[in-house]
Chain A
Amino acid sequence: MKRFMSLCLALMLTAALAGCGNSSSSNDPSNTSAKGQTDSPKATSEAPVSEEPAELNVLVFETPNLTAQYWDDAIKRFTDKHPNIKVNKIVSPDVDRTKYAKQLLATGQFPDVLMSVNVQEFLASKSLMAFEDKYVSQVPGADTVAIDGKVYLLPWGAQTISYIYYNKKMFDKAGATEPKTWAEFVDVVDKLKASGQTPLLYGGAKDPWSTTFLLDGIISTDVYSKVPDWVAKRKKGEVKFSDPLFKNAVLKWKSLVESKAFNEDGLAIGYSQLQDAFLKGKGAMYPMGSWFVAAANAQTDIEIGVFPIPTDDGSIVTPYAVGGPASVSATTKYPEAAQMFATEFVTDPATVVEAVKSDALIPLEGQTVDYVYPPLFQKVVEMSKQGTKVNAFGWENGDAAMLPGMVDEFNKAAQNMILGKSVDSELAALDAKWDEVSKRTK
């Protein structure tokens, strides 16, 4: 009995001590930098030559746009070309592949290649490999997503987050036209309300990230256009969420919330229900990422227009996020094969065209895509070339990415503001949270 009790005590202590550590310097730039992931001994010298037999585990995610068939076809094109390389597809249980990748990492099952994960979240654990120059040079725009000069993700296109998509018929009914300035935008909102229509749509429920598309856009245009390196400055403590510049941007959004410009059921509907609501004409304006163009093109129920987030002076500012799918594990047994797969995936014309078609990717400079763009898509592509490009708030990549978990915290804060909490208290809470996360991860 005594031995049994001792064993129980030992187990209890082990469990309790599990909470007595913290991750060291997970977001300390100095630690995530130069040493980086190329320190992995397997990264170069031990690599087998490219056509030696290899078996790669590839983490993918399936969406209505990027279906199982899409990934299977892309993998087959690669394996047909490289018969010695076997590719096992691992599917993320939901679209949050970053969280799933972390679970795989924690359980020692980190895949060799990962599609569209948030690179910044894996730097502290040195889990990703920096691509070698011979692969980086093959991919247009790869240098734009470098972190401390190293490329951990190969891009294949860009997205604008957010533009405002609108229902032309509802605008006509209200006698509204595309606004350019913030004052005109508020006027459009008033006209839509006066005509008995819901001006703006947002979502929530299980998808809190769908709450903030307009707010993300306003912060991008108002804050990032003036302080492009806002996140880097926040990391150094030089700016705060509660500073007047940031606060004023949030107040613009809050004034729309208070004037009941949004749908009443926003917090109760998820992303797919939100999109459905716009396509069924339940709201006139839908602030959203450019991937919406794919769904807009696939329907014929409503006629859709698009305009950028209106600014105070009417200047065009485009919140722009360069993104891509392919990252490689630092501990892969087959670094050459994994990098080759990643590179060929983002440069294979058929794979890229399918992604452009289904996920509405905007081509990067130097990238040519053999695709006839539908009119709305073409307009988005042209708009993205106008005005000033800034990072899309909440969707930043590379060096400009926020601390882990802060985007979720921001979404929760936005929901709290919708529920009536004050802008001041929520921004102060975000500052406190940022400092806490920063301190805990040092």
Chain B
Amino acid sequence: MTTLLTVQDLSRDFGGVRAVNHVDFEVKQGEILALIGPNGAGKSTVLNMVSGVIPPSEGEIRFANQLMTRVPGYEYAKLGITRTFQNLQTFDDMTVLENVMVGMHTKTHSSLFSCGMSLTTARREERTMQERAHTWLEKVGLSSLASSHAGSLPYGKLRLMEIARAMVAEPKLLLLDEPAAGLNHTETAEMSRMFQEIRENGTAILLVEHDMDMIMTIADRIVVLDQGSKIAEGTPREIQENPCVIAAYLGTEEQVESRG
């Protein structure tokens, strides 16, 4: 399998505090890589750097053999990286359908003028967008809520909507920041199946998650961070048996489970 994303020697400081410290890992085409670690390990910071939200202090990120450090944030979607957010970034005053349609921004090209004049090309594109957005809403099970305002939806549904919004852009790499947070057991299981399906269709996933059941079921490989540094990498089985990881992370698993 070819490598899709290479993260090399990645570091990030926040006002003198090192949040991420010389981290290396790779994501291969069509795999699910999980990034785990206790709270404050720097997982979200890594995800924010890989998605171009914040620049790294040191190190390199390569995506499909392109150096991403100098690429502006809005180019990431076009190149094939989209994401969801841990603290939901939804457009509350738009409908669910419209939210998902925003995700297709890079796949559409009507100009301001043709949109304002509602020219045939713009109208045709609008219809295609609606159809495609509906397809994805169906896949995540939100079809019936398409015309509801996003602001009126419960937490769990919004997470699904964000996934649909990220997937309509047909990314090569999907970044997920704690997608299962706040979901119940059945919902999490459904979501796991969906991620496996997404992988089957050729999209690689970089997943930050606390839910161990989900990670152990779907992840091909796992990278463990602790206090900003990588402490282990391997298959789920290897990670479960790694003494370092058990000390740093799995020791707190009881808390995680009792919380879920």
Q: Do A and B come from one complex?
A: no
Which residues of B are interface residues toward A (Cβ below 8 A)?
Answer: none
Which residues of A are interface residues toward B (Cβ below 8 A)?
Answer: none
